[in-house]
């Protein structure tokens, strides 16, 4: 006997199916609607203790705009750059991969006519966001390498050798392998601190300007970008604006408006001017009605440079590294523990703090998590999403560990309260340097329990051999696997040497 389908049952099934489809569509639309604009501001050589909100007892520089950002969002108290110097930090930030997996095993790139450090075809944060409908721009300092073609009238060997910042490429030079080939729709800025006089737009040098003008020009350009993209952002075309500032890195050049404002000398003035740039960017978001749906992150690429005149600053009561040991270039926390504020109204609780251990390499996985996207196996190998912390839903450590790298290529492993350093001294510029430390007979390893010894003053490696072995094994696994996150093994670009024993002589840049 044939059984005819029940019309009522058929209609109920169809209705349920339609309801499910509508629900999926609604969820998809909701996900699309909450995609925030992302503004990522990266200061250059700003010490953790240079921000008043982070160092009220031993900081003397006024930073009202950063203090306000902290009060309006979340402050991460245990945030780190992957390296204690510039280029490797920027590589990790944009790729989600530690730079010591690349060819750059120590130091930084020279600036111009360096082959790009980010390999062609490697997924970057802006490229990921572009896949999901974002417009992307970088306004500021690149310092990740590019090649150039100078105009025929310029002899490549006759580059002017001037003061810091004055060695930019001549107008008309073409940039090869720069930011617009690595995921950015638009670039406006310079290569690095030594060549900032060469102002680049996309892939051309468009102007040579006095280095003192660079920071104010970056300020105006970032504000203008926000204004010109506001309408599109409100219509469902969000933007990612990466603003790697040139300050307060040397040359320390506060403009006339800011000279003398801090009472601490040129460096204090330059920090105050840098803070004001952040204020202008925040004001532009508010003026254009974008503040409510914009994730703003402010941080720094590494610690304060000794060239800021840190001894004199400390005599005046200002400690740029706050309670931490060391400065830029060093393996100690003063080299890589950085200010990190995140604001996203309605998602991030105002005035909140997080003690999660995080690293700049985490931006890639965080963006993927925000978009509901899955990263390919060969991307973001060291990146962990901090979105649960931003939303306040984290209940356990997000990261297993963080690997740090000093200017001389010395490693450290941080896991929980423990930090193991594979060098006898600073690994950088601070005393004692590694050669000096060896002359003093200091051990080749340093182990600190940061919960008990935040200043890294008491080396306890001899008393804790099991901890030393565990952390060394963890680093060896991360190296062998080509990644520190779950996923298929990947390949490092070069062989990795952990226990370097011939670090260069101490040098300041």
Q: What is the pLDDT of residues 88-138, one digit of tens each?
A: 999 999 999 999 999 999 999 987 789 999 999 999 999 999 999 999 999
**Whole-number Å distance between alpha carbons of 497 and 402:** 18
Whole-number pLDDT of residue 18 = 46
- C-alpha dihedral sign at 129, 303, 354, 400: positive
HSE on the CB side for 220, CA within 13 Å? 4
The number of angstroms, rounded, from the C-alpha of 154 to the middle of its chain's C-alpha atoms is 35
> What is the rounded (10 degree) CA torsion for 332, 502, 45, 225?
-120
Mean pLDDT of 154-172: 77
Residue ranges of domains in the chain: 36-391, 402-481
- Does residue 180 contact residue 207 with C-beta atoms inside 8 Å? no
pLDDT tens-digit profile of 382-414?
Answer: 999 999 999 999 999 999 999 999 999 999 999
Task: Dig out the tokens for 336 from the structure.
Answer: 């890589």
Query: How high is the mean pLDDT of the chain?
Result: 92
| Number of residues that this document lists for the chain | 509
Q: What is the C-alpha to C-alpha distance for residues 485 and 477, in angstroms, rounded to an integer?
A: 11
Query: In terms of DSSP H, where are the helices of 163-301?
Result: 214-234, 266-287
Q: Per-residue confidence at 159, pLDDT binned at 50, 70, 90? A: low
* Rounded distance between C-alpha atoms, residue 44 and residue 337, angstroms: 13
95, two tokens: 């790729």
pLDDT value, residue 453 = 98
Cα torsion angle, 236, 237, 240, 243, sign: negative
Angle formed by the axes of helices 266-287 and 64-72, nearest 10°? 50
pLDDT in tens, 457-509: 999 999 999 999 999 999 999 999 999 999 999 999 999 999 887 544 444 44
Tell how strand 147-149 and strand 174-176 pair up. Answer: antiparallel
Instruction: Please state, as a whole number, how many other Cβ atoms lie within 10 Å of the Cβ of residue 230.
Output: 18
Q: Are 245 and 277 in contact (CB under 8 A)?
A: yes
In this structure, is the dihedral angle defined by the CA atoms of residues 450, 65, 229 and 223, taken in order, positive or negative? negative
Query: Do 354 and 395 meet the contact criterion of CB atoms below 8 Å apart?
Result: no
- Condensed to tens digits (0 to 9), the pLDDT of residues 356-365 reads 999 999 999 9
Cα separation, 352 vs 390, in Å, equals 9
Q: How confident is the model at residue 1 (pLDDT cuts 50, 70, 90)?
A: very low
Tell me: pLDDT of 15 over 70. Answer: no
Residue of 41, 22, 36 whose CA lies nearest to 369: 36
**Percentage of residues in the chain with pLDDT exceeding 90?**
88
For residue 109, how many other CB atoms are within 10 A of its CB? Answer: 23
At 507 the pLDDT is: 43
Q: Is the pLDDT of residue 16 over 60?
A: no
Q: Which residue has tokens 């309006």?
A: 72
Question: Long-range contacts of range 28-35, CB-CB < 8 Å, 24 or more positions apart?
Answer: 31/372, 32/236, 33/236, 34/293, 35/132, 35/133, 35/134, 35/238, 35/370, 35/371
Runs of H (alpha helix) within 372-433 = 387-391
- Superfamily of domain 36-391 in CATH is Alkaline Phosphatase, subunit A (3.40.720.10)
What's the pLDDT score for residue 154? 63
Tokens representing 320 are 């740029």
Q: What's the confidence (pLDDT) of residue 26?
A: 40
Q: CA distances (Å), 255 to each of 218, 270, 274, 449, 490, in order?
A: 13, 8, 11, 43, 47
Report how far apart, in Å, the C-alpha atoms of 227 and of each of 202, 215, 243 are: 19, 19, 15
Give the span between the Cα atoms of 30 and 12, in whole angstroms.
26
Nearest in space to 335 (alpha carbons), one of 411, 259, 444: 411
Q: Is the pLDDT of residue 166 over 50?
A: yes
Tell me the pLDDT tens digit for each residue of 197-240.
999 999 999 999 999 999 999 999 999 999 999 999 999 999 99
The arithmetic mean of pLDDT across residues 311-338, rounded, is 98
CA dist., res. 210 & res. 192, Å (int):
14
Contact call for residues 47 and 303 (beta carbons, < 8 A)? yes
Q: What is the pLDDT of residue 502?
A: 52
Q: Give me the residues paired with residue 418 across strands.
A: 415, 449
Q: What does the alpha-carbon distance between residue 469 and residue 472 come to, in Å, rounded to a whole number?
A: 5
CATH number of 402-481: 3.30.1120.10
**pLDDT band for position 439 (cuts 50, 70, 90):** very high
pLDDT of residue 162: 80
Can you read off the two tokens belonging to residue 126?
Answer: 């802006």
The answer to whether the beta carbons of residues 90 and 98 sit under 8 Å apart is no
- Lookup: tokens for 369: 């998590």
pLDDT at 3 over 60: no
Does position 32 have pLDDT exceeding 90, yes or no? no
- CA proximity to 280, closest of 75, 126, 69, 135: 69
- pTM score of the predicted model: 0.92
Q: Which helix (H) or strand (E) holds 127?
A: helix 125-131
């Amino acid at each position: 006997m044939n059984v005819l389908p029940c019309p009522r049952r058929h209609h109920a099934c169809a209705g349920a199916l339609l309801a499910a489809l509508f629900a999926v569509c609604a969820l998809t639309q909701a996900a699309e609607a909450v995609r925030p604009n992302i503004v990522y501001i990266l200061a250059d050589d700003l010490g953790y203790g240079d921000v008043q909100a982070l160092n009220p007892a031993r900081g003397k520089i006024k930073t009202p705009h950063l203090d306000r950002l902290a009060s309006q969002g979340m402050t991460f108290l245990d945030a780190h750059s992957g390296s204690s110097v510039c280029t490797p930090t920027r590589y990790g930030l944009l790729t989600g991969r530690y730079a010591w997996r690349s060819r750059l095993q120590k130091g930084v790139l020279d600036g111009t006519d360096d082959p790009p450090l980010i390999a062609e075809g490697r997924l970057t944060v802006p490229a990921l966001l572009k896949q999901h409908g974002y417009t992307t721009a970088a306004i500021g300092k690149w310092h990740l390498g590019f090649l150039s073609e100078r105009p025929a009238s310029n002899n490549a060997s006759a580059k002017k050798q001037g003061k810091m910042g004055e060695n930019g490429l001549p107008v008309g030079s073409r940039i090869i392998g720069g930011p617009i080939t690595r995921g950015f729709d638009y670039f406006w800025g310079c290569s690095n601190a030594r060549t900032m006089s060469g102002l680049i737009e996309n892939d051309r040098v468009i102007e040579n300007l006095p280095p003192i003008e660079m920071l104010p020009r970056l300020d105006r350009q970032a504000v203008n970008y926000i204004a010109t993209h506001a309408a599109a952002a409100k219509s469902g075309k969000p933007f990612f604006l990466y603003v790697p500032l040139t300050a307060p890195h040397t040359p320390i050049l506060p403009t006339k408006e800011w000279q003398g404002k801090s009472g601490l000398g040129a460096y204090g003035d330059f920090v105050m001017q840098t803070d004001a740039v952040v204020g202008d960017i925040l004001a532009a978001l508010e003026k254009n009605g974008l503040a409510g749906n914009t994730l703003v992150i402010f941080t720094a690429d590494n610690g304060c440079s000794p060239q800021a005149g840190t001894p004199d600053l400390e005599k005046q009561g200002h400690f740029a590294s706050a309670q931490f040991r060391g400065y830029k270039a060093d393996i100690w926390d003063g080299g890589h523990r950085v200010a990190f504020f995140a604001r996203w109204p309605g998602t991030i609780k105002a005035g909140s703090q997080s003690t999660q251990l995080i690293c700049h390499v985490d931006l890639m996985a965080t963006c993927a998590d925000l978009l509901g996207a899955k990263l390919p196996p060969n991307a973001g190998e060291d990146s962990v999403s901090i979105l649960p912390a931003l939303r306040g839903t984290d209940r356990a450590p997000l990261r297993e560990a963080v690997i740090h790298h000093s200017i001389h290529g010395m490693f450290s492993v941080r896991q929980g309260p423990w930090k193991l350093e594979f060098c006898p001294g600073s690994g950088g510029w601070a005393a004692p340097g590694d050669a000096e430390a060896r002359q003093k007979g200091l051990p080749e390893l340093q182990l600190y329990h940061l919960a008990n010894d935040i200043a890294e003053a008491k080396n306890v490696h001899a008393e804790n051999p099991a901890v030393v072995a565990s952390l060394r094994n963890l680093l060896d696994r991360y190296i062998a696997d080509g990644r520190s996150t779950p996923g298929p093994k990947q390949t490092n670009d070069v062989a990795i040497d952990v226990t370097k024993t011939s670090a260069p002589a101490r040098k300041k840049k």
